[in-house]
Amino acid sequence: MSIKLIEHIEITDPSITSVTLTDGGDWSDYTDLKLVYSARISGGSGTYTTCFLHINGSEQSTGKQLYGTGSSAASHSAFYLYTVNGAATANTYSNGEIYFSAPTSTTQHKWYSIDLVNENNAAATIHLIGAGTYASNTAISSIGFVPLSGDVEEGSTFTLFGTTSGSDGTTTVS
């Protein structure tokens, strides 16, 4: 297996309302994709802001998630990317990874998983893991990170990696 950097986005404009990574023909060589992000959202109230994962422009709002706050644990069937609210803390970012299996397949549904952690300068934390299915035979050609309200704050980063399995000319699977 080989892992390659596909795209890196660093937010420098404080008025970005969402982030979308698009294929542009670059994803067809990969067996899996992994989006690693560090983000904050401005505005809103409370400790965290709800964000959504969009695949090919469609909100992925179903799945199963387990989360813990350090003092309690629970689960829900909605699929959210809880992100630090910039108004509630200074200089703290949410960190997460979203893994996409078989993103370029046109013959099967694709599953994705998430692992994220939020902290509010040690006053509040949440760790969340979850999984969902993109119920389509269409290849994934765009991945969006979309806040329910507010803007993606300056300094947030989004990095997309692709993995290959033995057919990239340099990797041999034995």
pLDDT (tens digit per residue) in 93-148 = 899 999 999 998 898 889 999 999 988 766 678 899 999 999 999 999 999 999 98
Tokens of 27: 């994803």
36-69 as b/e: b if 16+ CB within 10 A = ebbbbbbebeebbbbbbbbbbeeebeebebebee
- How many residues are there in the chain? 174
Matching residue, tokens 């890196």: 8
pTM: 0.89
Sequence-distant (≥ 6) Cβ neighbours of residue 169 within 8 angstroms: none
Structural domain spans, the chain: 2-97+104-128+137-164
pLDDT (tens digit per residue) in 115-128 = 999 887 666 788 99
CA distance 83 to 85: 6
Q: What is the pLDDT of residue 8?
A: 95
Residue 19 CB neighbour total at 10 angstroms = 21
pLDDT (tens digit per residue) in 69-82 = 878 899 988 888 88
Q: Which of 129, 130, 134, 128 is nearest to 111 (CA)?
A: 134
Is the pLDDT confidence value at 67 over 60? yes
pLDDT band per the 50, 70, 90 thresholds, residue 22: very high
Matching residue, tokens 């509630």: 88
DSSP states of 92-103:
--EEEEEEEEST
Residue 94 and residue 121 in contact, taking contact as beta carbons nearer than 8 Å? no
Q: Domain 2-97+104-128+137-164 belongs to what architecture?
A: Sandwich (2.60)
